[in-house]
Amino acid sequence: MTSQTISRRTLLKSSATLSAGAIFAPALIGRAQAATLKLKLSSSQANDPKYANGRVYYDNLVKNLKAGGLGDQIDVAFFPDNQLGQEIDVINSVKLGVIDLMVSGSSISANLVPLVGTFDLGYLFSSFPQQTKAFDAGAAKPVEAALLKDANIRILGWAYNFGARSVLAKKAVNTPEDLAGLKIRTLPNPIITECLRLMGAAATPLAFGEVYTALQAGVLDGLEHDPPTVLASKFYETAKFYALTEHNFSPLAVYFSETTFKRMDPKLRDGLLEAANKAAADTRAHGLAVEKEALQVLADKGVSVIKCDKEPFRKRVLPQTDTFVKAHPDAKPVVDAIRATQA
């Protein structure tokens, strides 16, 4: 057995090293705890700070994080224009915790949780302010609970799409008969698709990132979307008639991965929730302001804005809600709460 003699000098040196480590350890731990949380936020829309709801929400979120003192602790990276993939792939990535945040219409998550499709029913909401009134009364709570339970996705807030969804086409649409045979792009969502079919169109589901080229190639005759999105995505370059059917006031959802939420420090979670809700309110106000402006800009760019009679379209779509509730009884309290808040 080999023994090793430790000199007094060596022992003192080792003690000094340990003491120094003990002194600096809290500082190192503190720096580790203060490490910036990095989050990824995805949007399918253009990187337009005025007319694209994803970018507007992102700007508002960053503003409110800074105002809440979290600007140095939470760093949100923004990925517009489908940079992280098509929406159906992104929502699944949010479910798995691969992507943290997604700003999109409620429609895309109905592919994961059918109850969310309640918000897509044609002519269910009469306006965006009425939608907020319904949500404040609790209409969205069952939907939020279902998304969390069945898809591992938390709703951080509800904002507005920037205007009601209406039909942009290559020919004038004044009546349901005018839609006959027209291939109108819808979200890849069965409720929206059925709504457009009932309105009279040849409803054609397609990913958002493929719409412009499909219009160019003649694969589509039009699409349904809100005015600022039509403007920001330049769809007006290929279709010049915008019929204000206003068949859908679906909400804009701020999706957040529950996997990410659970791994966050509780203090950061509370701060993020507060900032996210404020950002949603700011985005709602912005959306109401830019809808009319976008319609005027579209008209200036040569688009014929048609104030069609909505009643014939509404009557055709009306049975959709009753059929949906029969197939999904859990949607009845959501529908009842929304209808109870209509003026």
- Amino acid 138: pLDDT: 95
Q: What is the pLDDT of residues 6-41, one digit of tens each?
A: 444 443 444 444 444 444 444 444 444 558 999 999
Instruction: Provide the mean pLDDT of the chain.
Output: 91
CA distances from 39 to 53, 159, 270 (A): 18, 20, 15
Task: List, in sequence order, every residue forming a beta bridge with 74; answer none if it has no partner.
Answer: 37
- Amino acid 35: pLDDT: 84
- Amino acid 27: pLDDT: 45
Provide mean pLDDT across the span 195-223.
96
Q: What is the pLDDT of residues 258-293, one digit of tens each?
A: 999 999 999 999 999 999 999 999 999 999 999 999
pTM above 0.85, yes or no: no
Of 175, 185, 125, nearest in space to 313 by CA? 175
- Amino acid 188: pLDDT: 84
pLDDT at 127 over 70: yes
Q: What is the pLDDT of residues 38-63, one digit of tens each?
A: 999 999 999 999 999 999 999 999 99
Position 342 confidence tier, pLDDT thresholds 50, 70, 90: confident
- Amino acid 343: pLDDT: 54
CA torsion angle 241 243 249 251 (round to 10): 0
Q: What is the pLDDT of residues 81-104, one digit of tens each?
A: 999 999 999 999 999 999 999 999
Helix (H) or strand (E) holding 282: helix 266-300
Q: What is the pLDDT of residues 72-85, one digit of tens each?
A: 999 999 999 999 99
